[in-house]
Amino acid sequence: MALWVWAALLGALAQTGRNATQAGLTSALGTVGATQVRFLFGLPFALLFLAIQITWTGSPLPIPGPATLGWTALGAWAQIAGTALMLLLMKDQSFGVATAWLKTEPVLVALLGITLLGDHLTPGTLVAIAIATAGVLILSIKPGPLRTLFQTRPAALGLMAGLGYGLAAIGFRGGITALPDGSFLTRALTTLTLALAIQTATLLLWLMLFDRPALRGSFRVWRSSLAAGFLGAFASACWFTGFSLTSAANVRTLALVEIPMAQLVARLHFRQKTTLRQYLGMTTILLGVAALLWQQG
């Protein structure tokens, strides 16, 4: 198999573990406090990965230009927003269902492409979007009176989180390809370190100004925070490696294996049950997203 395939599979596995760890930190640190853990405690690992790569290969460190800085900043801030929304979503819904909602990301990226880039969508692509949207609606509907059928807040959180992660993938891919030189792995790790530095500085400033107890709390639970930071940095290194070798669409398509992984975690770790309706919704989303990316492929 191609190297990017292995990178994406490892990234999905590590991200599932990271999400589970972060979800457990939300009750102790709050949403922003748990969000910053993956960045603050992930940055040292990213620096270590980059230092090992530079030392091992003897290659110079690429110097980011304005284009790399701009794309990476877009990705960094979009990922902060996506992560915070994901953690809020996990407070409302089961871990596995929350992960499935996030996989509407490629659909939202396609719609952004129409609006911002003037991309043309084929009839097959429109059908794929309709299928994935139907899956989101299935996940949002609960049995009961008509006024309770639609869970507006969880659906909105899931869609917005997916949008954040979609923008992040676009930004990071743009940042990597804008670097002037270096091997694919050197460019990937350089962009990852830059992104984590931007994210760490942003959230440290926010917490110092508005939520110092959460910042202190992340150090009190340093073992869990360190685990989330390592898993987050390792998963991101895998994603960025994939982005440096192929399109973000290819990488995010293969990342759909995270859905069954999340279901396993939900059952074994969180002891959460998944209903037949939720299985149907997740399956429909999966089919829609897969059809969309097949049309693009």
What residues are paired with 161 via a beta bridge? none
Quote the tokens at residue 107.
């659909």
Average pLDDT over residues 147-155: 55
% of the chain surpassing 70 pLDDT: 70
Calpha distance 25→93 (Å, rounded): 16
Instruction: With a cut of 90, say whether residue 106 has pLDDT above it.
Output: no
Average pLDDT over residues 241-251: 80
Average pLDDT over residues 136-162: 64
Average pLDDT over residues 197-217: 85
pLDDT at position 74, please? 94
Please provide residue 149's backbone torsions phi and psi, each rounded to the nearest 5 degrees.
-65, -40
Higher pLDDT, 137 or 244: 244
Calpha distance 252→290 (Å, rounded): 10
Mean pLDDT is highest, among 24-33, 57-66, 130-139, 257-266, for 57-66
- CA distances for 113 relative to 79, 140, 215, 239, angstroms: 18, 26, 37, 21
Instruction: With a cut of 90, say whether residue 287 has pLDDT above it.
Output: no
pLDDT at position 204, please? 87
H/E run at residue 224: helix 222-245
Average pLDDT over residues 216-228: 77
Dihedral (CA of 151, 153, 158, 160) sign: positive
pLDDT at position 150, please? 46
pLDDT at position 66, please? 93
Confidence of residue 73 (pLDDT cuts 50, 70, 90): very high
Contact 132, 292 (CB under 8 A): yes
Higher pLDDT, 137 or 36: 36
Q: Could you tell me the pTM of the whole model?
A: 0.76
Average pLDDT over residues 249-277: 68
